[in-house]
């Protein structure tokens, strides 16, 4: 399995798979083609024998250059549990560090317990929210619009100049 930058040519493959990869939730609408065209330096694909097994779409904040943001990560259900998500995140962390970022942000739906567990393993902590999942994870109601609640995650990056 190799990692490479995401390419515009990956768009059709990803869009054809994401709803299924998210267990039937309609996700494709949140991934317009421009992400594949204009965020390539911070977005990655995991590939094996020419087959796309996973992808990450992320970027450095234009507003807060010390912050990086992961918008989407997905791994083919048949390839989960092989550290592909971890490797995609680690590549993003290293890239963000090289760009001078000091923290990474991400959000996920409170019902997505797998994503919440994955982010915890990747070193993220949930930011405060007024609501709480049954497992005790805080989240923010209507964060991305009506009934679009989100757990907001933050992870610090190592100081490149530190010991
Ligand atoms: C979340 C997702 C990206 C994880 O990808 P993956 O390649 O299977 O994850 P990895 O094999 O790299 O796992 C890394 C760690 O997270 C843990 N983890 C991953 N998925 C988990 C799950 N569903 N439940 C509990 N722990 C999980 C692994 O056990 C591993 O922990 P470890 O440090 O103890 O070894 C994948 O399940 C997925 O695509 N889900 C659907 C899309 C989604 O929800 N994306 C996130 C929101 S944008």
d(CA 32, CA 54): 17
Structure tokens at 88: 């995609």
Answering whether pTM is above 0.85, one says yes
Structural domains of the chain sorted by starting position, each given as residue range(s) with its CATH number in brackets: 1-101 (3.40.630.30), 106-163 (3.40.630.30)
Q: Are 10 and 36 in contact (CB under 8 A)?
A: yes
The residue whose CB lies within 8 Å of the most ligand 1 atoms, and thus the one to mutate among 44, 85, 113, 144, is: 85
Nearest CA to ligand 1 atom 27: 118
Residues with CB under 6 A from ligand 1: 21-22, 72-75, 80-86, 108, 112, 114-115, 117-118, 121
Give average pLDDT by consecutive 10-residue segment, the chain, 163 residues.
Answer: 98 97 93 97 98 98 98 97 98 98 98 97 98 98 97 93 62
């Amino acid at each position: 399995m190799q990692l490479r930058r995401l390419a515009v040519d990956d768009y059709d493959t990803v869009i054809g798979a994401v709803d299924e990869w998210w267990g039937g939730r309609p996700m494709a609408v949140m991934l317009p083609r421009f992400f594949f065209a204009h965020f390539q330096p911070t977005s990655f694909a995991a590939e094996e024998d020419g087959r796309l097994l996973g992808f990450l779409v992320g970027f450095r904040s234009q507003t807060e250059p010390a912050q990086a943001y992961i918008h989407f990560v997905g791994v083919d259900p048949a390839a989960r549990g092989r550290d592909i998500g971890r490797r995609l995140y680690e590549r993003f962390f290293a890239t963000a560090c090289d760009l001078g970022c000091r923290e990474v942000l991400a959000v996920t739906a409170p019902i997505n317990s797998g994503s919440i567990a994955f982010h915890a393993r990747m070193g993220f902590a949930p930011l405060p929210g007024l609501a709480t999942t049954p497992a005790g994870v805080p989240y923010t109601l209507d964060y991305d619009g009506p009934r679009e609640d989100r757990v907001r995650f933050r992870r610090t990056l190592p100081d490149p100049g530190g010991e």
